[in-house]
Amino acid sequence: MLPDEAAVTAIAPPDLVTLEVIRAAADAIAGVAVRTPLLPADDLSHRLGVPVFVKPENLQRIGAFKVRGAYNLVRQLVEGGARGVITFSSGNHGQAVAYAAARFGVRAVIVMPETVTAAKRGGVERLGGEVVLAGRTSADRRARATEIAEAEGLAVVPPFDHPAIIAGQGTIGLEIAADCPGVATVAVPVGGGGLSSGVATAIKALAPRARVVTVEPEGAAKLARSLAEGRRVTLEKTGSIADGLITLSVGALNWEHLSRYVDQAFTVSEGALRGAVRYALERLKLVVEPSGAATLAWLLGQEPGAVLGPVVLVLSGGNVEWEGLVALLAEGA
């Protein structure tokens, strides 16, 4: 069985995920994860004077990029003999694990916060996952998942701090490099760091001259502070409408990648996130949740000449229920 999150955290020094491992993950998820296209964002291109494209992972199976890493790890666990899996998630990762487990015919238990949105809880349940509610923080969810895993013999599928998760999410970087030769800037949202560390690793291997920038809410600036201080920082508290990006810190293994491969970390305001959700719907014709719109919120705030192009924005997910979307659009008007 592959190491769980705690075991990975204990590795010193960490073994970094390589391009070869990411390519192996791409082979493993082929035919399961959708190979999302790069869509031109003509209005932004005109505004900034450089080609701009979006990578719409909101069109991915389960509505977010998370299926890539989750399927990659669940596959390995099942091949290693696991008969059931468990994870702790604010939403999208839980749906991805439930989806992957259903593909392999094994049980999936998803520990979610008491504040989980109806869209994300409903998504897990429709996919056959068993939802357990635990507290409001990632620590609450992790602790409850650990208890259940030990009591019921389930294999833990951590949301970001695991090499198989990083490799699976890194397949997005492979696709960007293949579809946008000469890419100069890749912007990716950062929560725990699975997506951003995987994408950064792949991009720096295949397009080393490209700048990789991350975007997170002002209320959850864990990577921006970590890079500024040169160490992995754990925040005392976080808060944002971008609920998928409000971890207290990036993962230990993720930090080892991010500190090497990310060029700059940016933060965006709540107002910018709301505006980006509205812009995505009106101009790009895409439904994107606040977490998925973070990179768009950042680019909308840039001036012509400030960003090198071509630019690729990773839109990481679109799991927002109708009532929540209406509220966001009204507030962002």
Q: Are 276 and 243 in contact (CB under 8 A)?
A: no
CA distance linking residue 133 with residue 173, whole number of Å: 33
**Which residue in 90, 138, 291, 316 is the catalytic one?**
316
Q: Are 198 and 173 in contact (CB under 8 A)?
A: yes
**Three-state DSSP class for residue 200:** helix
**Three-state DSSP class for residue 122:** helix
User: Is 55 noted as a catalytic residue in this protein?
Assistant: no
Q: 55 forms bridges with which residues in the sheet?
A: 314
Q: Buried b vs exposed e over 36-73: b needs ≥16 C-beta within 10 Å?
A: bebbebeebbeebebbbbbbbbbbbbbbbbbbbbbbbb
**Three-state DSSP class for residue 31:** coil
**Which residue in 66, 120, 204, 222 is the catalytic one?**
66
Report phi then psi at 115, rounded to 5: -95, 10
Preceding omega of 181 cis (within 30 degrees of 0): no
CA distance linking residue 250 with residue 183, whole number of Å: 26
Q: What region does 48 belong to: left with phi over 0, alpha with psi -120 to 50, or beta? A: alpha
User: Is 89 noted as a catalytic residue in this protein?
Assistant: no
Residues labelled catalytic: 66, 316
